[in-house]
Amino acid sequence: MLKNSVIAMIVILEFSTWRLNMTKTKVLFVCLGNICRSPMAESMFKKMTSEKGIADYYQINSVATSSEELGNPPHPGAQAEMDRHQLNYNGHYSRPITAADISNADYIITMDESNLADLKQIIPNRDLSKLHLCMDIVPGQKGTSIVDPWYTHRFDKTYQMLNQSLPLWLKKMEKIRKEG
């Protein structure tokens, strides 16, 4: 009797874990080096979903279009900006996008037109609908790039633009998740 109960509990637990994994929305943020904009977006989106109590429904990551910064932590300017907003970036190290990332993602959100163009060259046609420019969701901002703060040193401006767009992305994703 005890053995059957244990087996039933294991089956329920495995089904619950499988169901939870099946319902996660997989979000991938992309920039050139994965040391400034995309790790900021990843950290901000994780904090937003956590604060709303919906983090279990999301798998959030960030990657680079280039391998130039491979293995590097976020840029010191990005770290300082994330620290100002109590964003967790511990354990983040730059890595380039992979075919598995593309295949697994539900949303691939790029920071600028260059990232978008680079990814359009490598993403299979069947996955192009996953590809978005971050600011396109903001009314009146279609085609607007989030300029790389590695060049401008305006990490505050990057944060402001992400803070404007990411809540709209989450609102859209939540609407779709709840309808599905």
Q: How far apart are CA 38 and CA 99, in angstroms?
A: 18
The answer to whether position 145 is within a domain reads yes
The answer to whether position 57 is within a domain reads yes
Looking up residue 168, the CATH number of its domain turns out to be: 3.40.50.2300
Q: What share of the chain is helix, strand, coil (3-state, %, to 5)?
A: 55, 10, 30
Residue in this structure with the two tokens 């900006």, named with its chain if needed:
81
The one catalytic residue in 36, 37, 118, 134 is 37
The answer to whether position 36 is within a domain reads yes
Q: Which of 77, 136, 71 is nearest to 109 (CA)?
A: 136
* Contact yes or no for 23/135 (Cβ under 8 A): no
Query: What is the model's pLDDT at position 117?
Result: 98
Query: What is the model's pLDDT at position 22?
Result: 55
The answer to whether position 180 is within a domain reads no
**What pTM, to 2 d.p., does this model score?**
0.88
The answer to whether position 19 is within a domain reads no
Query: What is the model's pLDDT at position 23?
Result: 82
Determine the structural domain holding residue 113 and report its residue range. Answer: 27-174
Query: What is the model's pLDDT at position 5?
Result: 46
The one catalytic residue in 31, 36, 112, 118 is 31
Asked about 37 being catalytic, the answer comes back as yes
Tell me how many domains the chain contains: 1
The answer to whether position 1 is within a domain reads no
The answer to whether position 22 is within a domain reads no
The one catalytic residue in 95, 118, 148, 156 is 148
- Tell me the average confidence (pLDDT) per consecutive run of 10 residues in the chain, 180 residues long: 44 44 87 98 98 97 98 98 98 98 98 98 96 98 97 98 98 93
